[in-house]
Amino acid sequence: EAGRVLAILGANGAGKSTLLRALAGLEAPAEGRVLRGGEGAVTMVFQRPIALAGSVDHNVRIALRSQGLGRPEIDRRVGEALANFGIAKLAQRPASGLSGGELRRLALARAFAIEPGVLLLDEPFDDLDAVAQERLSRDLRRTVAQTGVAVAVVTHDLRRAVLVCDRIAVLLGGSLRQVGQREEVLNRPVDLGVASLVGMTNLLPAEIGSDEIARIAPGYAIPTSGSRFRGPAWVGLRPEHLKVDIGRGEGVSMGTGEVVEHASDGILTTLGITWAGHRLRTHLVAGRGMAREIAVGDSVSLAVRPEDVHTLPADSPRD
């Protein structure tokens, strides 16, 4: 959709890049059709971008020479594209001397300068460090909003996908298993395979009664809300929705569990907690409050909001 980003997620070998090449017209589908509306070119930025001989400015300018544009229009587009991706100061530098991150920014600037109707990006954050990924995510999101281009981006990195996308498509085993709005796919995956891929790591077999309580083991239960299933089922809960209960009334109590893992990346602290014979995960903000106080071996009270609990049928496919 114009001005929107569709993230195509999938494990290695799922067919993400092949799908992107089919959308670009570089591969013929074995069956089905690729349909598009609107105007403008379809442009693809490959996973391993290349630079032509000459300056950064020349690399963007040469992409516009076949479009019959006048010099003022070319100057405008080149200047805007380089500025949007933070490489205007590198305009006269030889493109062959760019770093990996700068080369990716050049490839994106060149693609946006063409003003395509559709832009296809294959792993644009590959090989970038965390800071460079975050900056490029922000620049990409802002430029898409400014230009109104329709973007499909292939990535295996869920965190990057969530930062830039409006919609998510999940590709498993060569099939599009689910396509929908970002929050819908993240919080209401259609099966266990999609749930695992989009970060719903807490997946438990349960027995759901007429009271909508999912019983995991004797004495252990999770409240649900609006579950369509009764009897054997799966319960899914995103780590950020599992709360360590400190009496703030953030949900319905699930009882206590034991902390068996405490790991931090400097931004989030991940706790691994055994509960009802299963290992659950939750996230805390690193370096503050409970993230500093809780240690491996501690007993913690857990809580959840019923509306955050997702249920799936017992025979839900895993891959």
Q: pLDDT at position 317, please?
A: 81
User: pLDDT grade, residue 248 (50/70/90)?
Assistant: low
109-118, 126-135, 195-204, 255-264: which range is least confident on average? 126-135
d(CA 222, CA 251): 11
Q: pLDDT at position 134, please?
A: 84
- Would you tell me the crossing angle of helices 130-147 and 71-84 to the nearest 10 degrees? 140
Whether residue 254 is predicted with pLDDT greater than 80 in this model: the reply is yes
Q: pLDDT at position 110, please?
A: 92
d(CA 244, CA 240): 10
A 10 A CB-CB count for 96 gives 12
Q: What is the mean pLDDT of residues 16-22?
A: 91
Token pair listed for 13: 């070998």
Q: Which of 31-35, 70-74, 291-295 has the highest mean pLDDT?
A: 70-74
d(CA 86, CA 221): 52
Whether residue 181 is predicted with pLDDT greater than 70 in this model: the reply is yes
Strands (E), 145-248: 150-155, 167-172, 175-181, 202-208, 213-217, 220-223, 231-237, 243-244
Q: pLDDT at position 122, please?
A: 92
Q: In degrees, to the nearest 5, what angle opens at C-alpha 266 toward C-alphas 101 and 134?
A: 25
The answer to pTM > 0.95 is: no
| pLDDT: which is higher, 268 or 8 | 8
Task: Report which of 44, 18, 33, 32 is spatially closest to residue 151, judged by C-alpha positions.
Answer: 44
Task: Report which of 34, 4, 1 is spatially closest to residue 19, judged by C-alpha positions.
Answer: 34
Q: What is the mean pLDDT of residues 49-76?
A: 90
Q: pLDDT at position 247, please?
A: 62
Q: pLDDT at position 249, please?
A: 64
Whether residue 165 is predicted with pLDDT greater than 90 in this model: the reply is yes
CA distance readout (Å), 133 to 6, 123, 240, 292, 293: 18, 11, 22, 27, 31
Q: pLDDT at position 208, please?
A: 93
User: pLDDT grade, residue 279 (50/70/90)?
Assistant: very high
Task: Report which of 82, 310, 279, 308 is spatially closest to residue 195, judged by C-alpha positions.
Answer: 310
120-134, 226-240, 266-280: which range is least confident on average? 120-134
Task: Report which of 304, 270, 260 is spatially closest to residue 290, judged by C-alpha positions.
Answer: 270
d(CA 233, CA 128): 40
User: pLDDT grade, residue 265 (50/70/90)?
Assistant: confident
Contact by Cβ (8 Å): 51, 59: yes
Q: pLDDT at position 307, please?
A: 94
Token pair listed for 6: 């569709």
Pairing state between β 42-45 and 118-122: parallel
Q: pLDDT at position 135, please?
A: 84
Tens digit of pLDDT for each residue in 85-106? 889 999 999 999 988 888 989 9
Contact by Cβ (8 Å): 167, 4: yes
